[in-house]
């Protein structure tokens, strides 16, 4: 049931039309179920300064591991990044490690590796 609600929410948000300029600031979420458990990820993207396309990204991850049918307590992890947005290529590049977040303005989505994060809330 929970997966159905999340799927419907993602579908409704992805159907929303985009209104114009790239506003990356906001909250993005992703949910994965895999053979070793379930992962819930949240990216919170905020402006780090005025005008230089620098953003703070905070990633909150919750992992519930399942091994041999045994469910382990939820493990919470927090990572912080500072990234520069390249408007031409539509990417955020993390300044310390070079990690790349690809921005899809049509779907209001950030992609990190093989994980797509859907925008849930916009920040000003």
Structure confidence by residue, pLDDT tens digits, 84-122? 999 999 999 999 999 999 999 999 999 999 899 999 988
Q: What is the mean pLDDT of the chain?
A: 85
So what's the pLDDT on residue 123? 80
Query: pTM value?
Result: 0.76
Statement: residue 21 has pLDDT above 60? no
Map tokens 């997966």 to a residue. Answer: 3
Cα separation, 61 vs 75, whole angstroms: 8
- Are the C-beta atoms of 110 and 91 separated by less than 8 Å? no
Confidence band for 55, pLDDT divided at 50, 70 and 90: very high
Residue 85 DSSP SS3: strand
So what's the pLDDT on residue 2? 53
């Amino acid at each position: 049931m929970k997966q159905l609600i999340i799927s419907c929410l993602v579908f409704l948000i992805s159907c929303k039309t985009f209104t114009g300029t790239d506003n990356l600031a906001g909250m993005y979420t992703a949910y994965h179920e895999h053979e070793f458990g379930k992962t819930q990820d949240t990216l919170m993207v905020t402006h780090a300064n005025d005008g230089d396309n620098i953003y703070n990204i905070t990633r909150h991850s919750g992992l519930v591991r399942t091994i041999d049918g045994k469910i382990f307590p939820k493990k919470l992890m927090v990572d912080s990044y500072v990234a520069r947005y390249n408007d031409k290529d539509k990417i955020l590049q993390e300044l310390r490690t070079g990690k790349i977040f690809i921005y899809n303005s049509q779907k209001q989505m950030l992609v990190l590796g093989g994980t797509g994060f859907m925008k849930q809330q916009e920040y000003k």
